[in-house]
Chain A
């Protein structure tokens, strides 16, 4: 079968790989109908998350169950499903508390052996271990292009909004208006936020954020702290959600949040350190919530319901649709920030 594999830093290829086959009675085989390129795939693409040449990429996909092991009870061949970006056991201490990403046997799809070794989903087929816990049924009225967002991006945004403890009327600042930032804005508004300010540099992303109902703040053109202050009677935002994954963005979040507010570090950070002034932070009564990997299994049914009920439309962030064979081009576009979200079709 065909699959996208890592070749070298800045280079991916579509190659023939061996067909996966069921290895355990809890496994399922999913034939992918649509996959996607995610911001975190770029960590691999840039070499910040090291992978070996030939390892398969991708962790967002929807498709059809083709085969199930004898111990799989919730799914059967023919079922339409979305696959969790990371695989959890579903029964340990952390899984039971809705923190499945802290599961002792948590494994990532599509980031190579070092990150869990599970199949990449930018491929024709994906082997999904422990299928009962790691597949989600797609309702009849949700198409695959929309469903794919319930496996990663939407639950991640939903998680960010939950961590921000958004109350009705709150002002929420979102640092970074990529796909996750876009959905954070949408979901915060759905949850009753009075106003969402979206901070970014990229005009296309700011336009999209405005479409989501957020107030766009071009951080290249103006002082974001001042802008947020002006929008909040001088106080600052009740919550600031960092959806980039950089020290600068986190510091920006800390600058625009009000006293007594919450800073959420949602983006995957690199190898950076923050010098935290304890007295100032304590006096300002700031809460820092470092999100970690999204515990998708406790959130994705809500995300799917939001799609099914039409409360938000994930297709708004889709800028490109391409055949799987064009994946190298898709990565290039995405890397140059010329695409907001790319769907790939095997």
Chain B
């Protein structure tokens, strides 16, 4: 089959590789109909996370069940499904407590040796272990492009808003209007926010956020704290969702949240450290929720229901649609921030 594989830093290619096979009775093989390139794929692309040449890549994808192992109960050949980017066992303590991303046997699709050596979704076929846990049926009539992000960034944005404890009439600031921020903005509205402010320094991302109903704040042009305070009677945002994953974004979140407010840190961190003045944090009564990887399985049916109901619209984030064979070009565009989201059709 054809699959996108890692070759070297800043280089992926589409290659002929062996078809995946059922290795365990709980496996399913999915014929991928739509895959996507995710920001975390760029960690490998840019050499920030290790991957070996020839490793399959990609962890966002939908498709049709091609084959199932004998122990798979909930799915059968021909079902349309979305795959979870994080592969959980479904039965350890953390899985049973809704924290599947903390699974004792946690793996990632298309993430090299650290992801457990699983193949990627940017391929014609993909093997999904523990299929009953890691696949979600796509409601009838929903197209691939609406469903595909439920397996990762859409649900991650939803989770970021859900754990932030948004109350009706809250002002929510979302730092970073990239793909996760895009979904966090919509999820914040869904959770009853009175107003959502989208902070970024890229005008085109802000324009998309504005179309969704967010108030755009270009932090390249305006002081973030002043802009947020202006809209909150000087207090700051009730809730901040940090969807970047950089210490400067974290510090910005601390600056723009009001006393007694909540910060949901969805952005992924690679290796940074911050200094926390305990007295100031304590006096300001800050509630800081480090999200970790999204436990997709605990949230994706809610997220899927929101898409079904038209309350979250994934389509505006898609800037490019390409054939799988054009994946190298897709990576280049995405890496150069010339694409907001690239979907690939095998």
Q: Are A269 and B275 in contact (CB under 8 A)?
A: no
Complex Cα spacing A97 to B282, Å: 18
Closest to B291 in A: A285
| Residues of chain A contacted by B235 (CB below 8 angstroms) | 93
Within 8 A of B (CB), among A260-309: 260, 265, 268-279, 281-293
Interface assignment of B133: CB less than 8 Å from any CB of chain A: no
Interface assignment of A108: CB less than 8 Å from any CB of chain B: no
Chain B facing A: main interface SS? mixed
Interface assignment of B182: CB less than 8 Å from any CB of chain A: no
**B282's contact among A233, A260, A282, A290, by CB below 8 Å, is which?**
A290
Complex Cα spacing A93 to B167, Å: 14
**Most chain B C-beta atoms within 10 Å of own C-beta, residue among A250, A273, A282:** A282
Interface assignment of A156: CB less than 8 Å from any CB of chain B: no
Q: Are A273 and B285 in contact (CB under 8 A)?
A: no
Q: Are B276 and A287 in contact (CB under 8 A)?
A: no
Q: Are A285 and B283 in contact (CB under 8 A)?
A: no
Q: Mark B273-307, 1 if CB is under 8 A from A, else 0.
A: 11111110111111111111100000000000000
Closest to A269 in B: B278
Complex Cα spacing A196 to B297, Å: 30
Closest to A267 in B: B282
Q: What is the CB-to-nearest-CB distance from A245 to chain B, in angstroms, rounded to a whole number? A: 8
Q: Are B284 and A292 in contact (CB under 8 A)?
A: yes
Complex Cα spacing A233 to B247, Å: 34
| Residues of chain A contacted by B155 (CB below 8 angstroms) | none
Which range contains the number of A residues in contact with the other chain?
Answer: 35 or more
Within 8 A of B (CB), among A201-218: none
**B271's contact among A102, A269, A279, A287, by CB below 8 Å, is which?**
A279
Q: Are B285 and A102 in contact (CB under 8 A)?
A: yes
Q: Mark B182-212, 1 if CB is under 8 A from A, else 0.
A: 0000000000000000000000000000000
Q: Are A276 and B281 in contact (CB under 8 A)?
A: no
Closest to A287 in B: B289
Complex Cα spacing A265 to B276, Å: 13
Q: A97-B260, A286-B290, A292-B284 are in contact. Are A279 and B270 (CB under 8 A)?
A: yes
**B291's contact among A97, A101, A269, A282, by CB below 8 Å, is which?**
A282
Closest to A263 in B: B288
Q: Are B290 and A287 in contact (CB under 8 A)?
A: yes
Q: Are B285 and A292 in contact (CB under 8 A)?
A: yes
Within 8 A of B (CB), among A74-107: 93-94, 97, 99, 101-102
Interface assignment of A259: CB less than 8 Å from any CB of chain B: yes
**Most chain B C-beta atoms within 10 Å of own C-beta, residue among A233, A277, A286, A288:** A288
Q: A269-B278, A271-B279, A287-B287 are in contact. Are A282 and B273 (CB under 8 A)?
A: no
Complex Cα spacing A260 to B98, Å: 10
Q: 20 A-B contacts, Cβ less than 8 Å apart?
A: A102-B259, A235-B93, A259-B102, A260-B94, A265-B282, A269-B279, A273-B278, A276-B274, A278-B247, A278-B269, A278-B274, A278-B290, A281-B269, A282-B269, A284-B292, A285-B291, A286-B290, A290-B278, A290-B284, A293-B283
11 additional A-B pairs beyond A278-B250, A287-B288, A293-B285, beta carbons within 8 Å, are: A94-B259, A233-B93, A250-B278, A259-B102, A269-B278, A272-B279, A276-B276, A283-B292, A285-B290, A291-B285, A292-B259
